Structure 1
Amino acid sequence: MPDVITRPDGMPPTNGYSHVAIAHGDTVFISGQVPVDADGEVVSADPSAQVEQVFTNLRTALAAAGLDFSHVVKLTYYLVDLADLAVVREVRDRFIDAERPPASSLIQVAGLVSPAFRVEIDAVASRG
Structure 2
Amino acid sequence: MMQHFVRPDGTPPVNGYSHAVAFTGTMVAVSGQVPVDAHGRVVGAGDTADQVRQVFANLVTALEAAGAAMDHVVKLTVFLTNLDDLDTFRQVRDEYLDTARPPACSLVKVAGLVHPAFRVEIDALAVLPAGA
TM-score range, shorter chain: 0.7 to 0.9
Give the AA of the match of 1:104. Answer: C
Are 1:32 and 2:24 an aligned pair? no
Equivalent residue for 2:19? none
Deviations 1:15-56 (A, max 9, x none): xxxxxxxxxx60100000000000000012200000000000
Partners of 1:65 and 1:43 in 2: CA distance? 24
Equivalent residue for 2:95? 94
Q: How does 1:103-118 map to 2 (within 5 A)?
A: 103-118=104-119
Partners of 1:36 and 1:104 in 2: CA distance? 22
SS at match of 2:67: coil
Aligned residue pairs: how many? Answer: 104
Give the AA of the match of 1:116. Answer: A
What is the CA-CA distance between 1:115 and the residue it aligns to?
A: 0.3
Question: Hey, which bits of structure 1, 4+ residues long, moved more than 2 A?
Answer: none
What is the CA-CA distance between 1:57 and the residue it aligns to?
A: 0.2
Compare relative contact order (CA 8 Å, sep 6+) and give the higher one, 1 or 2. 2
Q: Which has the larger radius of gyration?
A: 2
Partners of 1:41 and 1:73 in 2: CA distance? 29
Equivalent residue for 2:68? 67
SS at match of 2:35: coil
Using structure 2 for the length normalisation, give the TM-score: 0.77
What is the CA-CA distance between 1:59 and the residue it aligns to?
A: 0.4
RMSD: 0.9
Equivalent residue for 2:121? 120
Using structure 1 for the length normalisation, give the TM-score: 0.79
Give the AA of the match of 2:96. Answer: F
Equivalent residue for 1:83? 84
Equivalent residue for 2:48? 47
SS at match of 1:53: helix
Segments of 5+ residues of structure 2 without an aligned counterpart are 1-24
